Structure 1
Amino acid sequence: MQLLSVNTAAVERFVATDGQSLHSAIRKRAREGSVAVQPLGLAGDAQADLSVHGGLSKAIYAYPHEHYAFWTTVRQQARVTGALQPGDMGENLTIMGLLETRVWIGDVLRFGDCELVVSEPRQPCFKFNAHMGFNQASKLMAQSGYCGFYLAVRREGTLAAGEDFELLPGPREVGIAELFKAKMRKSS
């Protein structure tokens, strides 16, 4: 398993496809070199709405790179132009080799200099639709299960693109994929 990219963003204003003005830090971009991992997330990263993002249990958001092909295809079908790059799902960590179906609440991602604990799946919101450029993006995330997952910081340190990491199993009682499906059923 590998960390392909470490991504951060400041809160910025952008205009959605319907003309609505939004404030968000969803437009994450890759950082060079080592990035400090702190209890509330990565140095240099922000969240616009702390009622749904951030905090100790949602300090860092990881997303599998394997899902990028799916999003490229559906964006093309929706006639959205522009290539996707790491961070475009709003994730802090673009990872490879670990999908939601293999992750459970309490699992630990051990990197060379820090440890992160899986806390919950991401739930899509209207800002994801706006950022992706079409109004069905959240619905497609819910249907596909390609949600990624939030991480709490167990041991502070640093992260850098290209690092390998290992998965240390937690109690294996609640899986990310199953919890995401249950939350999506409940919210619809």
Structure 2
Amino acid sequence: MTAPLLPPVLPLVLAGPVAPLGPDGPPSGIVKNPVPAPWRITATGLVGDAQADLRYHGGPEKALHQYPQDHYAAWATEIGDHPLLSAPGAFGENLATTGWTERDVCVGDVARFGSALLQVSQGRQPCFKLDRRFGRSGMALAVQRTGRTGWYWRVLEDGVAEPGDRIELRARPRPDWSLARLIHLLYVDTRNRSELQAASALPELAESWRLLLRRRLRTGAVEDWSKRVTGRDGGPDA
């Protein structure tokens, strides 16, 4: 029998409504809490979950956000014993797991969760709402700098998951393109033309990211991140 590409992971499933993020804060759906099964998953995400601004949140390419609990210890070392790190959901994730990180998961990976079929579409672009969530200036930039962003799934087939169902990797069409490699290109090795060309041609990568990479190739310029990570003048967040 062929060994699995990755060991299956058992997720904690979380969702949340839109609510003000702190006193007089912007509306946000970043606060997620465990929700009871069965978990119904559609092309736009987990039924019962919500996003504040559908221009930049949710939708088919960002249907579910998965975040590794493996990173929580590193965050605790770096920012201290923050109360949000005592339980899953600190980063607004829908799927909290241990065992997979950005180094293990690749663009286009296809996985089964219950009867739903999922595909990795992109990494996360952290935004200023993480600063508000943690009460720490620079938190969004730290998530970006470390590459501990988590990732998004698109839904290829709607389905239902039950307690005990694991996320099981079924196919890996782009084994050379780990999310860690993609994130390094996006935020560190930002003008590597050969990498930009290769990544922008990945059909499994979210269209918005392919367009971003092609724009870099065309202009030779890297987009301004300051609006996204500070919130000044608005700006998209993921």
TM-score, normalised to structure 1, is 0.88
Aligned to 2:103: 101
Higher relative contact order (CA 8 A, sep 6+): 1
1:130-145 alignment to 2 at 5 Å?
130-145=132-147
The C-alpha deviation readout for 1:76-105, integer Å capped at 9, x for no partner, is 27xx44553212211111122111111111
Helix, strand or coil at the partner of 1:98: coil
Conserved 8 A contact 1:32-1:160: no
* One of 39, 47, 50 as aligned partner of 2:51: 47
Q: CA deviation at 1:143?
A: 2.0
Q: How does 1:9-24 map to 2 (within 5 A)?
A: 9-15=16-22, 21-24=25-28
How far the C-alpha of 1:157 sits from its partner, in A, is 0.9
Q: Distance in 1 between matches of 2:121 and 2:84?
A: 32
Matched, 1:87 2:83: no
Greater strand content: 1
1:74 partner letter:
E
Q: Which runs of 5+ in 2 are unaligned?
A: 1-7, 189-221, 226-238
Give the match's secondary structure for 2:21.
strand
Q: CA RMSD in A?
A: 2.0
Kindly indicate whether the alpha-carbon contact (under 8 Å) linking 1:142 and 1:181 is maintained by their aligned counterparts in 2. no
Q: Alpha-carbon deviation of 1:170?
A: 2.1
Please say which structure displays the higher CA radius of gyration.
2
Task: Give the superposition deviation at 1:73.
Answer: 2.9
2: CA distance, partners of 1:159 / 1:107: 19
Moved more, 170-179 or 121-130: 170-179
Aligned AA (1:3): L
More helix by share: 2
TM-score by length of 2: 0.70
Segment of structure 1 superposing worse, 3-12 or 162-171: 162-171
Q: CA deviation at 1:175?
A: 2.6
Number of residue equivalences: 183
TM-superposed deviation, 1:44: 0.3
Letter in 1 for 2:165: E
Unmatched 5+ stretches in structure 1: none
- The percent of aligned pairs where both chains have the same amino acid is 34
